[in-house]
C-alpha cells in the first residue's frame, strides 16, 4: 500500500512495537526487554487480545535495515516458534510503498491445537490477511492525518 509519508516516518511507526496496538486489530502493544528498543537482536514481549482472550508472546528482531526492512520472529511463552512478521518500505513518489508480510513458522501442534485455543482464531492465515489490510490502512490514515495537520 502506498502511504503518503516518507520511509523514515513510516519506519519509526512500524519499529515502535510498544505502540503497535494503535495500528493492529489484535496486538495491544508490549515492551522492549533489557532496555534495548528496536535493533537487530532486540527482544520484545508482545501483548495481544481477542475479546476476553489475552496472551503474550516473545519477539526477537531478526532483520533491521533502517528505512527499508524490519522483521521479527514470534514465539509462544514456552519458546515454540509461531511466525515471522516483516515490513518492507520502498520509496515512491509522494511517500513510500509499505508491504507487510506474515510467515507461518512452527509446529503443527501449535497451529492445530495451541494457537486456536489461546487466540480464539481457528483460521490464522485468513485472519492475518485481514489484519495486514487493517494495519496498512491504519498506517495510511495516520500519514494522511499528519499531512492534514501540517
In the 3-class helix/strand/coil scheme, how is 41-90 assigned residue by residue? CCEEEEEEEECCEEEEEEEEEEEEECCCEEEEEEECCCCCEEEEEEEEEE
pLDDT of residue 17: 96
User: What is the band of 10 on the pLDDT scale with cuts at 50, 70, 90?
Assistant: very high
96 in helix, strand or coil? strand
Whether the pLDDT of residue 86 is over 90: the answer is yes
CA gap 37, 150 in Å, rounded: 28
CA gap 138, 105 in Å, rounded: 26
Q: Output the pTM of the full model.
A: 0.95
Strands 69-75 and 81-92, sheet pairing: antiparallel
Domains within the chain, CATH numbers bracketed: 2-149 (3.30.530.20)
Q: CB of 105 within 8 A of CB of 83?
A: yes
Amino acid at each position: 500500500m502506498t502511504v503518503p509519508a516518507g520511509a523514515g516516518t513510516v519506519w519509526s511507526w512500524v519499529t515502535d512495537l510498544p505502540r503497535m496496538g494503535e495500528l493492529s486489530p489484535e496486538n495491544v502493544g508490549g515492551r522492549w526487554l533489557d532496555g534495548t528498543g528496536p535493533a537487530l537482536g532486540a527482544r520484545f514481549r508482545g501483548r495481544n487480545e481477542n475479546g476476553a482472550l489475552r496472551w503474550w508472546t516473545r519477539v526477537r528482531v531478526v532483520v533491521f535495515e533502517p528505512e527499508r526492512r524490519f522483521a521479527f520472529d514470534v514465539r509462544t511463552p514456552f519458546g515454540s516458534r509461531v511466525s515471522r512478521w516483516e515490513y518492507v518500505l520502498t520509496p515512491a513518489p509522494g511517500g513510500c510503498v509499505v508491504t507487510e508480510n506474515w510467515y507461518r513458522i512452527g509446529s503443527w501442534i501449535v497451529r492445530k491445537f495451541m494457537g486456536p485455543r489461546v487466540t480464539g482464531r481457528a483460521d490464522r492465515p485468513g485472519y492475518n490477511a485481514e489484519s495486514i489490510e487493517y494495519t496498512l490502512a491504519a498506517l495510511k490514515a495516520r500519514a494522511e492525518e499528519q499531512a492534514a495537520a501540517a
